[in-house]
Protein backbone atom coordinates (compact mmCIF):
# COMPACT_ATOMS: atom_id res chain seq x y z
CA UNK A 1 0.00 0.00 0.00
CA UNK A 2 1.02 3.62 -0.53
CA UNK A 3 0.29 6.62 1.67
CA UNK A 4 -2.90 6.35 3.72
CA UNK A 5 -4.53 9.11 5.74
CA UNK A 6 -6.37 7.79 8.80
CA UNK A 7 -8.51 10.20 10.82
CA UNK A 8 -9.51 9.76 14.45
CA UNK A 9 -6.23 8.06 15.33
CA UNK A 10 -6.43 9.08 19.00
CA UNK A 11 -9.64 7.07 19.27
CA UNK A 12 -10.39 3.41 19.94
CA UNK A 13 -10.93 2.34 16.33
CA UNK A 14 -8.74 4.77 14.43
CA UNK A 15 -5.67 4.08 16.58
CA UNK A 16 -5.92 0.33 16.00
CA UNK A 17 -6.43 0.73 12.24
CA UNK A 18 -3.44 3.05 11.95
CA UNK A 19 -1.22 0.71 13.95
CA UNK A 20 -2.16 -2.23 11.72
CA UNK A 21 -1.65 -0.27 8.50
CA UNK A 22 1.81 0.96 9.53
CA UNK A 23 3.12 -2.58 9.06
CA UNK A 24 2.72 -2.30 5.28
CA UNK A 25 2.01 1.35 4.42
CA UNK A 26 2.99 4.93 5.09
CA UNK A 27 0.30 6.25 7.45
CA UNK A 28 -0.57 9.83 8.31
CA UNK A 29 -2.68 9.80 11.46
CA UNK A 30 -4.91 12.83 11.98
CA UNK A 31 -6.78 13.81 15.13
CA UNK A 32 -7.73 16.86 17.14
CA UNK A 33 -6.12 15.20 20.19
CA UNK A 34 -2.54 13.93 20.55
CA UNK A 35 -1.86 10.19 20.68
CA UNK A 36 0.66 7.51 19.80
CA UNK A 37 -0.85 7.13 16.33
CA UNK A 38 -1.36 10.85 15.67
CA UNK A 39 1.03 12.56 13.26
CA UNK A 40 -0.99 15.68 12.45
CA UNK A 41 -3.03 17.66 14.97
CA UNK A 42 -5.98 19.03 13.02
CA UNK A 43 -9.73 19.42 13.33
CA UNK A 44 -11.48 17.75 10.39
CA UNK A 45 -14.32 20.22 10.89
CA UNK A 46 -12.08 23.17 9.97
CA UNK A 47 -10.02 24.09 6.95
CA UNK A 48 -6.32 24.22 7.70
CA UNK A 49 -2.98 24.02 5.93
CA UNK A 50 -1.98 21.13 8.20
CA UNK A 51 -4.98 19.09 7.11
CA UNK A 52 -4.40 19.86 3.43
CA UNK A 53 -0.73 18.90 3.62
CA UNK A 54 -1.65 15.56 5.19
CA UNK A 55 -3.35 14.63 1.90
CA UNK A 56 -0.33 15.19 -0.32
CA UNK A 57 0.48 12.05 -2.37
CA UNK A 58 -2.36 10.20 -0.65
CA UNK A 59 -3.46 6.84 -2.05
CA UNK A 60 -6.38 6.11 0.27
CA UNK A 61 -8.28 7.60 3.21
CA UNK A 62 -9.82 5.85 6.22
CA UNK A 63 -12.14 8.26 8.01
CA UNK A 64 -13.05 7.21 11.57
CA UNK A 65 -13.13 10.63 13.30
CA UNK A 66 -16.57 11.67 14.54
CA UNK A 67 -18.70 12.82 17.40
CA UNK A 68 -20.45 9.71 18.71
CA UNK A 69 -23.75 8.68 20.28
CA UNK A 70 -22.54 9.29 23.89
CA UNK A 71 -21.98 12.95 22.93
CA UNK A 72 -25.69 13.46 22.15
CA UNK A 73 -27.14 15.90 24.66
CA UNK A 74 -23.77 17.19 25.85
CA UNK A 75 -22.58 18.74 22.56
CA UNK A 76 -24.81 21.02 20.54
CA UNK A 77 -26.31 19.87 17.26
CA UNK A 78 -24.47 22.48 15.20
CA UNK A 79 -21.16 20.92 16.24
CA UNK A 80 -22.44 17.47 15.23
CA UNK A 81 -23.22 18.84 11.77
CA UNK A 82 -19.86 20.57 11.51
CA UNK A 83 -17.82 17.51 12.52
CA UNK A 84 -19.78 14.53 11.22
CA UNK A 85 -21.38 15.87 8.05
CA UNK A 86 -19.39 18.92 6.93
CA UNK A 87 -16.10 17.44 8.11
CA UNK A 88 -16.67 14.28 6.10
CA UNK A 89 -17.60 16.29 3.01
CA UNK A 90 -14.36 18.30 3.40
CA UNK A 91 -12.26 15.15 3.65
CA UNK A 92 -13.93 13.63 0.61
CA UNK A 93 -13.17 16.79 -1.37
CA UNK A 94 -9.54 16.72 -0.24
CA UNK A 95 -9.22 13.05 -1.16
CA UNK A 96 -10.62 13.61 -4.65
CA UNK A 97 -8.57 16.78 -5.19
CA UNK A 98 -5.35 14.98 -4.26
CA UNK A 99 -6.03 11.95 -6.45
CA UNK A 100 -6.81 9.34 -3.79
CA UNK A 101 -8.14 6.11 -5.20
CA UNK A 102 -10.25 4.97 -2.23
CA UNK A 103 -12.22 6.51 0.65
CA UNK A 104 -13.28 4.19 3.48
CA UNK A 105 -15.80 5.65 5.90
CA UNK A 106 -16.43 4.21 9.36
CA UNK A 107 -20.16 4.54 9.94
CA UNK A 108 -22.45 2.89 12.47
CA UNK A 109 -25.41 0.54 12.56
CA UNK A 110 -26.99 3.29 14.65
CA UNK A 111 -27.98 5.02 11.39
CA UNK A 112 -30.78 2.45 11.06
CA UNK A 113 -32.44 4.19 13.99
CA UNK A 114 -36.15 3.44 14.19
CA UNK A 115 -35.71 0.52 11.76
CA UNK A 116 -33.93 -1.35 14.57
CA UNK A 117 -37.30 -1.90 16.24
CA UNK A 118 -39.75 -4.38 14.72
CA UNK A 119 -42.53 -5.07 17.22
CA UNK A 120 -43.25 -8.78 17.65
CA UNK A 121 -40.02 -10.00 16.07
CA UNK A 122 -36.32 -9.30 16.00
CA UNK A 123 -35.35 -6.85 13.27
CA UNK A 124 -33.11 -8.47 10.65
CA UNK A 125 -30.68 -5.68 9.76
CA UNK A 126 -28.70 -5.81 6.56
CA UNK A 127 -27.83 -3.39 3.78
CA UNK A 128 -31.29 -3.66 2.20
CA UNK A 129 -32.92 -1.99 5.24
CA UNK A 130 -33.56 1.74 4.80
CA UNK A 131 -32.00 3.84 7.60
CA UNK A 132 -34.48 5.77 9.76
CA UNK A 133 -32.26 8.09 11.87
CA UNK A 134 -33.65 8.97 15.30
CA UNK A 135 -31.20 11.51 16.79
CA UNK A 136 -28.57 14.02 15.72
CA UNK A 137 -25.83 11.39 15.75
CA UNK A 138 -27.76 9.13 13.38
CA UNK A 139 -28.81 12.02 11.16
CA UNK A 140 -25.31 13.41 10.76
CA UNK A 141 -23.67 10.01 10.22
CA UNK A 142 -26.26 9.29 7.54
CA UNK A 143 -25.58 12.67 5.92
CA UNK A 144 -21.87 11.83 5.97
CA UNK A 145 -22.57 8.51 4.23
CA UNK A 146 -24.41 10.37 1.49
CA UNK A 147 -21.45 12.69 0.96
CA UNK A 148 -19.15 9.68 0.59
CA UNK A 149 -21.41 7.81 -1.83
CA UNK A 150 -22.00 10.94 -3.91
CA UNK A 151 -18.27 11.00 -4.67
CA UNK A 152 -18.19 7.38 -5.89
CA UNK A 153 -18.05 8.46 -9.54
CA UNK A 154 -14.60 9.92 -8.93
CA UNK A 155 -13.23 7.70 -6.15
CA UNK A 156 -13.90 4.22 -4.84
CA UNK A 157 -16.09 4.67 -1.77
CA UNK A 158 -16.72 2.07 0.93
CA UNK A 159 -18.95 2.55 3.96
CA UNK A 160 -18.66 0.20 6.92
CA UNK A 161 -21.62 0.29 9.31
CA UNK A 162 -20.06 -1.28 12.38
CA UNK A 163 -21.85 -2.86 15.31
CA UNK A 164 -21.36 -2.12 18.99
CA UNK A 165 -17.70 -1.94 20.06
CA UNK A 166 -17.51 -0.48 23.56
CA UNK A 167 -16.02 -1.54 26.85
CA UNK A 168 -18.94 -3.00 28.79
CA UNK A 169 -19.39 -5.71 31.44
CA UNK A 170 -18.43 -9.17 30.18
CA UNK A 171 -21.96 -10.64 30.11
CA UNK A 172 -23.19 -7.74 27.97
CA UNK A 173 -20.24 -7.91 25.59
CA UNK A 174 -20.60 -11.68 25.24
CA UNK A 175 -24.31 -11.41 24.44
CA UNK A 176 -23.80 -8.55 21.98
CA UNK A 177 -21.39 -10.76 20.03
CA UNK A 178 -24.30 -13.09 19.27
CA UNK A 179 -26.23 -10.49 17.36
CA UNK A 180 -25.04 -6.86 17.46
CA UNK A 181 -21.48 -6.44 18.82
CA UNK A 182 -18.00 -6.69 17.36
CA UNK A 183 -14.42 -6.98 18.59
CA UNK A 184 -12.06 -4.13 17.73
CA UNK A 185 -9.67 -6.58 16.03
CA UNK A 186 -12.45 -7.66 13.69
CA UNK A 187 -13.24 -4.00 12.98
CA UNK A 188 -9.62 -3.51 11.95
CA UNK A 189 -9.71 -6.59 9.70
CA UNK A 190 -12.85 -5.26 7.99
CA UNK A 191 -11.17 -1.93 7.26
CA UNK A 192 -8.07 -3.59 5.86
CA UNK A 193 -10.28 -5.77 3.67
CA UNK A 194 -12.21 -2.69 2.53
CA UNK A 195 -8.99 -1.02 1.38
CA UNK A 196 -8.28 -4.05 -0.81
CA UNK A 197 -11.79 -4.07 -2.25
CA UNK A 198 -12.38 -4.07 -6.01
CA UNK A 199 -15.69 -4.04 -7.85
CA UNK A 200 -18.44 -1.38 -7.69
CA UNK A 201 -17.32 2.17 -6.96
CA UNK A 202 -19.65 2.74 -4.02
CA UNK A 203 -20.66 0.04 -1.52
CA UNK A 204 -22.11 -0.22 2.00
CA UNK A 205 -21.41 -3.13 4.35
CA UNK A 206 -22.70 -4.09 7.79
CA UNK A 207 -19.86 -5.44 9.94
CA UNK A 208 -20.52 -7.29 13.17
CA UNK A 209 -19.58 -10.55 14.86
CA UNK A 210 -20.77 -13.86 13.48
CA UNK A 211 -24.36 -14.65 14.43
CA UNK A 212 -25.74 -18.19 14.73
CA UNK A 213 -29.28 -16.99 14.00
CA UNK A 214 -31.32 -17.21 10.79
CA UNK A 215 -34.01 -14.89 9.42
CA UNK A 216 -36.64 -17.51 10.29
CA UNK A 217 -35.65 -17.13 13.96
CA UNK A 218 -36.86 -13.52 14.14
CA UNK A 219 -40.21 -14.14 15.82
CA UNK A 220 -38.87 -16.77 18.20
CA UNK A 221 -36.00 -14.49 19.25
CA UNK A 222 -38.57 -11.90 20.30
CA UNK A 223 -40.67 -14.38 22.27
CA UNK A 224 -38.17 -17.01 23.51
CA UNK A 225 -34.57 -15.95 22.94
CA UNK A 226 -33.32 -18.42 25.56
CA UNK A 227 -34.69 -21.36 23.62
CA UNK A 228 -33.26 -20.12 20.33
CA UNK A 229 -29.81 -19.52 21.83
CA UNK A 230 -29.80 -22.99 23.35
CA UNK A 231 -30.72 -24.49 19.97
CA UNK A 232 -28.46 -22.39 17.73
CA UNK A 233 -25.50 -21.78 20.07
CA UNK A 234 -25.47 -24.55 22.72
CA UNK A 235 -21.76 -24.12 23.56
CA UNK A 236 -22.30 -20.43 24.20
CA UNK A 237 -25.43 -21.07 26.28
CA UNK A 238 -23.55 -23.59 28.42
CA UNK A 239 -20.52 -21.31 28.94
CA UNK A 240 -22.71 -18.29 29.67
CA UNK A 241 -24.64 -20.14 32.36
CA UNK A 242 -21.47 -21.68 33.78
CA UNK A 243 -20.13 -18.15 34.23
CA UNK A 244 -23.18 -17.38 36.37
CA UNK A 245 -25.10 -15.28 33.84
CA UNK A 246 -28.74 -15.56 32.72
CA UNK A 247 -29.66 -15.81 29.06
CA UNK A 248 -31.99 -13.04 27.82
CA UNK A 249 -35.68 -13.63 27.27
CA UNK A 250 -35.71 -11.41 24.16
CA UNK A 251 -33.38 -10.32 21.39
CA UNK A 252 -34.58 -7.32 19.40
CA UNK A 253 -32.28 -7.25 16.36
CA UNK A 254 -29.71 -9.18 14.35
CA UNK A 255 -26.93 -7.55 12.34
CA UNK A 256 -26.42 -9.69 9.25
CA UNK A 257 -22.95 -9.73 7.66
CA UNK A 258 -23.44 -11.95 4.61
CA UNK A 259 -22.70 -9.13 2.15
CA UNK A 260 -19.42 -8.26 3.90
CA UNK A 261 -18.44 -11.91 3.87
CA UNK A 262 -19.03 -12.14 0.12
CA UNK A 263 -17.78 -8.72 -0.92
CA UNK A 264 -14.87 -8.22 1.47
CA UNK A 265 -14.00 -11.75 2.52
CA UNK A 266 -14.80 -10.56 6.05
CA UNK A 267 -14.45 -13.37 8.61
CA UNK A 268 -14.97 -12.16 12.20
CA UNK A 269 -12.88 -14.21 14.61
CA UNK A 270 -13.87 -13.07 18.11
CA UNK A 271 -17.30 -14.17 19.26
CA UNK A 272 -19.14 -14.40 22.56
CA UNK A 273 -17.19 -17.46 23.63
CA UNK A 274 -13.98 -15.48 23.17
CA UNK A 275 -15.32 -12.80 25.52
CA UNK A 276 -16.21 -15.40 28.13
CA UNK A 277 -12.69 -16.82 27.80
CA UNK A 278 -11.21 -13.37 28.42
CA UNK A 279 -10.07 -12.85 24.83
CA UNK A 280 -11.69 -9.58 23.83
CA UNK A 281 -10.72 -6.11 22.66
CA UNK A 282 -11.58 -3.65 24.10
CA UNK A 283 -11.29 -5.10 27.59
CA UNK A 284 -14.58 -5.47 29.48
CA UNK A 285 -15.66 -3.30 32.34
CA UNK A 286 -16.13 -4.90 35.78
CA UNK A 287 -19.48 -6.64 36.02
CA UNK A 288 -22.00 -5.01 38.38
CA UNK A 289 -22.10 -6.64 41.80
CA UNK A 290 -24.88 -9.18 42.04
State the pLDDT at residue 1.
73
76-122 confidence digits (pLDDT tens)? 999 999 999 999 999 999 999 999 999 999 999 999 999 999 999 99
State the pLDDT at residue 288.
66
Of the chain, the percentage scoring pLDDT greater than 70 comes to 99
Length of the chain: 290
State the pLDDT at residue 186.
98
- As a whole number of angstroms, the distance between CA 105 and CA 102 comes to 10
125-169 confidence digits (pLDDT tens)? 999 999 999 999 999 999 999 999 999 999 999 999 999 999 999
Does domain 3-216+253-273 fall into CATH 3.40.50.720?
Answer: yes
267-290 confidence digits (pLDDT tens)? 999 999 999 999 999 999 987 654
- As a whole number of angstroms, the distance between CA 138 and CA 235 comes to 35
Closest CA to 83 of 40, 3, 139: 139
Contact 251, 122 (CB under 8 A): yes
State the pLDDT at residue 290.
46
Q: For 45-53, what is the mean pLDDT?
A: 93
Amino acid sequence: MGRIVVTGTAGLVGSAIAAALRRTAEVVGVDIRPGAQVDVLADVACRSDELSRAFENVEAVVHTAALHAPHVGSIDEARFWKVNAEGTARLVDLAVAHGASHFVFTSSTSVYGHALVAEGRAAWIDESVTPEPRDIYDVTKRAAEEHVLAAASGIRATILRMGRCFSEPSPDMALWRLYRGIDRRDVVDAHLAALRRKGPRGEVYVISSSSPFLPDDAEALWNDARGVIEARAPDFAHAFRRAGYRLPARIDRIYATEKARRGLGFQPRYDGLAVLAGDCDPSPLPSPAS
